[in-house]
Amino acid sequence: MSISTSHGLAGRIFGGRYRLAERIGAGAMGEVYAAADEQGRALAIKVLHEHALEDPALVTRFEREATIAMRIESPFVARVIEAGRERTGRLWIAFERLYGESVETRLRRDNFLGFDEVSAIVEDVLHGLMAADDVGVVHRDVRPANVFLEEPVGGAFSRARLLDFGVGKLRDDMGRESTLTAAGITVGSYVYMSPEQLRSSYLADGRADLYAVGALAFRMLAGRPPFQAPNVAGLAALKLHRRAPTLAEATGEPWPAPIERVLGRLLEQEADRRPQSASEALSAWQDVREELAESHHSILVRGPAHLAFESWPEEELDRTEVDGP
């Protein structure tokens, strides 16, 4: 995360014990500050923008992010420690402090990654989704900005962590699903969104997250997402009416069949044709890695093929949309 020169809330104490330091991130809903508690433990505090307090839907989604994330206990999901509301009305969530960078930041610098690194990231994300599934949570917004590469001091990334469950949904103990999204409404990030989530996020289940993992892996390997178009309508039409391209079609270079096979399954248009759980997807991915090792394949870092048209920047098509209550 890049550090802003703005002081903002730096120096303020939240929750009676968390002192905010420099701002280390900002988004549409809030800002993130480095912080420390009374014992000096390093934390990150996410604070809802003041103007967002006037929007009940954004307030509920912010509170929901904390509620959902606190249900998940996994080393592959950013841990929420506490959440609260200040006397001024400002809402905040205290996370464990992570050091490193998001996959989005990494791809802005390197554009594409080697298979070994992608494989490690995908397996960690799937472990995180398995933990979410265990407590009935569907993320619904797996994308580069929401996968964080944790780095020990002076080393390469050691673990990938899932972030931001703000548009997630969960099942109660009776198996009933709870979501803020009405039927027919779309939330999430279009570039990584499954066809069924494009139609209605209300109906998306864990298999939609697996599609997003496939799209994320494809983006990291190929240097471009599976589908590209000059606008959202064009992107949606491609996803709904065309099969996902292979890596070979996207890059103009041959790829080992096991990799093409597992990505093809994750990016199936019909959810019933994908792996049916994060556990099944993880097993399939690990089988590919073992198959490549046994065949002594050497996967080189490859560049993206020349694009046939000028597409919108990915971030313009990768914003979380909130179109309903």
Give the long-range contacts of residues 34-37, CB within 8 A, separation 24 or more.
34/97, 35/94, 35/97
- The strand pairing partners of 20, in sequence order, are 35
Which of the 8 DSSP states describes residue 77?
B
Residue 240 tokens read as: 């709904």
DSSP 48: E
> Distances from the Cα of 52 to the Cαs of 26, 30, 57, 89, 225, in angstroms?
13, 8, 9, 11, 31
d(CA 202, CA 177): 9
Q: Are 143 and 192 in contact (CB under 8 A)?
A: yes
Pick left, alpha or beta for residue 279 (phi over 0 → left; psi -120 to 50 → alpha; otherwise beta). Answer: alpha
User: Strands (DSSP E) along the chain, which ranges?
Assistant: 13-14, 18-26, 30-36, 42-48, 80-85, 91-96, 100-102, 137-138, 147-150, 159-162, 169-171, 177-178, 187-188, 321-322
Contact by Cβ (8 Å): 191, 235: yes
Give the C-alpha distances (Å, rounded to integers) separating 150 from 28, 95, 117.
23, 14, 13
Residue tagged 């949904």 (tokens): 169
Whether 141 is catalytic is yes
The residue from 124, 141, 209, 318 that is catalytic is 141
Query: Distances in Å between the alpha carbon of 189 and those of 91, 288, 303, 316?
Result: 24, 27, 24, 10
Known catalytic residues? 141
